[in-house]
Amino acid sequence: MDAKLTPEELILKLLKEKTSLQLDVRKNMADSFIMLKETLQEFAKNLSQKANSFDKRINIAYKEKNEFEATLTVAEDVLVFYMQTNVFEFDQSHQVWQNSYVKNNEGNAYCGIISIYNFLSDSFIYNRSNDAGYLIARIFVNHEMHYFVEGKRQLGFLYNDFSNSVLDKKAVTEIINSAVIYTLSFNLFVPPFDNIKEVSVSAMEEENNRMQLQTGKRLGFRFSADNDNLR
């Protein structure tokens, strides 16, 4: 505690320096997620029209589940976009602290997070609550609308200029494109035989015609086998 400040003065100082900053981040996150949802809706409509021109069986759809969650279905995959309600600061071991943008102003390290998960569309269609999904990217946005992305493959290295990159509709569209490309390239693997050689009676019983056996794109495999770990 600063010996020159009274407890009340210290509280007011923290409210001014940290809480106001966090409120700015919250506002930017809310605005960013609205922009993301609008872009996803446009993306789905445009891609659906073009895909249906050669195969009407391909399902491409956008759905807003609530204020904090939206989904993009692309054929056999669902991308879930989820906005955290809290504001976070990075652990001191995180590489973001090596960035001069953060070194010069630690307040720039306060960020909101939008996470992107990949699920199989059948998991939702058949209400298979045991199925596995995978985090493929996290978008970090601060009080100045600067952003970077931690993620798989191109998602992890194309969007990492935190000092200069500002999240706008163009950037959001590029992130969506990269996420869909990665997802469509991320195949469903047959799980190892030994991982599923035993199964319980309850897992085999149908409940309302829905199978409860767990399914996921890399079920039984280490996700790092792709050699594309989260950066």
- Give the pLDDT means over successive 10-residue stretches in the chain (231 positions): 80 89 96 98 98 96 95 96 94 92 94 95 85 90 96 80 96 96 77 64 54 49 42 40
Is residue 226, in this structure, part of any structural domain at all?
Answer: no
Query: Residue 105: which domain range?
Result: 7-186
Counting DSSP H helices and E strands in the chain, the numbers are: 7, 6
Helix or strand (DSSP H, E) at 187? none
Q: What is the pLDDT of residue 152?
A: 79
Cβ atoms of 181 and 153 closer than 8 Å: no
For residues 209 and 130, give the distance between their C-alpha atoms in angstroms, rounded to a whole number: 15
Is residue 219, in this structure, part of any structural domain at all?
Answer: no
| Counted domains in the chain | 1
Q: What is the pLDDT of residue 14?
A: 87
Q: Could you tell me which residues come within 8 angstroms of residue 110 by beta carbon, excluding any fewer than 6 positions away?
A: 18, 21, 22, 25, 87, 88, 89, 142, 143
Is residue 215, in this structure, part of any structural domain at all?
Answer: no
Q: What is the pLDDT of residue 203?
A: 62
Q: What is the pLDDT of residue 230?
A: 41
Is residue 193, in this structure, part of any structural domain at all?
Answer: no
Is residue 101, in this structure, part of any structural domain at all?
Answer: yes
Does the pTM exceed 0.75? yes
Helix, strand, or coil here: 65? strand
Q: What is the pLDDT of residue 219?
A: 43
For residues 155 and 167, give the distance between their C-alpha atoms in angstroms, rounded to a whole number: 15
Is residue 113, in this structure, part of any structural domain at all?
Answer: yes
131 HSE (CA, 13 A, CB side): 23
Is residue 202, in this structure, part of any structural domain at all?
Answer: no
Is residue 140, in this structure, part of any structural domain at all?
Answer: yes
